[in-house]
Amino acid sequence: MIRFENVTKRYRGTSRPALSGVDFEVQRGEFVFLVGASGSGKSSCLRLILREDVPTTGRVAVLGRDLRSLANRKVPYFRRHIGSVFQDFRLLPSKTVYQNVAFTLQVTGSSRGFIQQAVPEALALVGLDGKQKRMPHELSGGEQQRVAIARALVNRPQVLLADEPTGNLDPATSVDIMQLLARINAGGTTVLMATHEAGFVDQMQRRVIELRDGEMVRDEVHGGYGDTSNIPRLAPEEVRGAAAAAALTAVQEVQRQTADLSVVRAALAEELTAQRRAESTAADAVPRASETPEAQAAPIEPQIDEVPVVAPAAVASRTHPIVLPEVDVAELGVADRLGLSDDGTEEVGPTS
């Protein structure tokens, strides 16, 4: 779906390449974190995928197209298959929420009927129905990012690129956005997210591609920083711990939303019983782990099963994994309508 072949990117007037010999492939339906310190080349990678820029040497192929041979006039059509969101939201300040989401559809010539159906559905998907007439400045940061995500999804892209989408948000709001991206991915959309927030990476246990000074230093299917002692920490311990705890909550929340509730309840009850049993034996000697400040900072050991695209049976348990059933993506409601379900077709927006 996305392939980098020995990609090097040198910007004019710079001595060191921004990307050097980068080589990876992302499959349809994957959720991939692109991590690395500021300046390591994350945004450069995303710009190459969007064909906002071209490699100096090497090859980038996206959705089966070699971007080097993609004619300039075809670039706008190509980009309709790719949604993107950024740290700074990039909404049109003088347009309402509805108009912001409808705007690209209008300029690319979608029918009025399609727009009237797709825009409210995209807004509902991100939890913003009822705020259609608000102006961006009347929204919180998290809500503005949701508008940006709705706008990115309204054209039913196969890939969603997110460049530090939580970079301007507080931890709790970041969790909401992370949760939303996980849900979008559970519906079948390939998600590539650049971030330096290791907490999410630790807890989500998805694939991690790490860049350092433009070079790929890691490509790990079940990534995470928490249990990798020889990798430098990307954030101070407290921040990392708080974000990790928050991300764990997000993962559990996604499960609650997508999995069969009765099974989840039974599994959680079992989990609770096991925890209580463990606590009652250990309670006298040490304070409860969850109450110590160390618990906040310590990496929470996730046992999240890597699962097929439509079955986000993610599991997070300190004691033993809870295995959840496969999820019927149709339960996600409008996801199907928005082309977020993985039905094996190559359906794309009506304007392509």
* Contacts to ligand ADP by CB under 6 A: 11, 14, 18, 36, 38-44
Phi and psi for 42 in degrees, rounded to 5?
-60, -55
**Residues in 174-233 that interact with Mg ion by CB under 5 A:** none
Minimum distance between the CB of residue 133 and Mg ion, rounded to whole angstroms?
33
Binding mask 25-54 for Mg ion (x = CB under 5 A): -----------------xx-----------
Report the alpha-carbon distance of residue 197 to residue 182 in Å, rounded. 15
Residue 11 interacts, among Mg ion, ligand ADP, none and using kind-specific CB cut-offs from 5 to 8 Å, with ligand ADP
Minimum distance between the CB of residue 247 and ligand ADP, rounded to whole angstroms?
20
Phi and psi for 196 in degrees, rounded to 5?
-115, 10
Which residue, 43 or 258, has its beta carbon nearer to ligand ADP? 43
Residue 317 interacts, among Mg ion, ligand ADP, none and using kind-specific CB cut-offs from 5 to 8 Å, with none
Residue 80 interacts, among ligand ADP, Mg ion, none and using kind-specific CB cut-offs from 5 to 8 Å, with none
Minimum distance between the CB of residue 111 and ligand ADP, rounded to whole angstroms?
37
Minimum distance between the CB of residue 44 and Mg ion, rounded to whole angstroms?
8
Which residue, 44 or 145, has its beta carbon nearer to ligand ADP? 44
Phi-psi group of 4: left, alpha or beta (phi > 0 → left; psi -120 to 50 → alpha; rest → beta): beta
Q: Which residues of 53-74 are buried (b: 16+ CB within 10 A; e: fewer)?
A: bebeebebbbbeeebeebeeee
HSE-up (13 A, CA, CB side) for residue 283:
7
Residue 39 interacts, among Mg ion, ligand ADP, none and using kind-specific CB cut-offs from 5 to 8 Å, with ligand ADP
Helices (H), the chain: 42-49, 75-79, 97-107, 112-125, 141-153, 171-186, 198-204, 237-258, 261-282, 293-297, 334-337
Which residue, 161 or 329, has its beta carbon nearer to ligand ADP? 161
Residue 269 interacts, among ligand ADP, Mg ion, none and using kind-specific CB cut-offs from 5 to 8 Å, with none
Which residue, 36 or 339, has its beta carbon nearer to Mg ion? 36
Residue 189 interacts, among Mg ion, ligand ADP, none and using kind-specific CB cut-offs from 5 to 8 Å, with none
Residue 18 interacts, among ligand ADP, Mg ion, none and using kind-specific CB cut-offs from 5 to 8 Å, with ligand ADP
Minimum distance between the CB of residue 172 and Mg ion, rounded to whole angstroms?
23
Minimum distance between the CB of residue 223 and ligand ADP, rounded to whole angstroms?
17
Of 251, 194, 224, the residue nearest 50 (C-alpha): 194
Minimum distance between the CB of residue 241 and ligand ADP, rounded to whole angstroms?
23
Residue 41 interacts, among Mg ion, ligand ADP, none and using kind-specific CB cut-offs from 5 to 8 Å, with ligand ADP
Phi and psi for 161 in degrees, rounded to 5?
-105, 130
166 binds Mg ion (CB under 5 A): no
CA-to-CA separations, 338 to 155, 187, 224, 231, 341, in angstroms, rounded: 8, 10, 31, 39, 8
The answer to whether the beta carbons of residues 7 and 48 sit under 8 Å apart is: yes
Of 210, 211, 209, 213, the residue nearest 17 (C-alpha): 213
Report the alpha-carbon distance of residue 28 to residue 33 in Å, rounded. 14
Minimum distance between the CB of residue 12 and ligand ADP, rounded to whole angstroms?
7
State how beta strands 215-220 and 82-86 pair.
unpaired
Binding site for Mg ion (CB under 5 A): 42-43
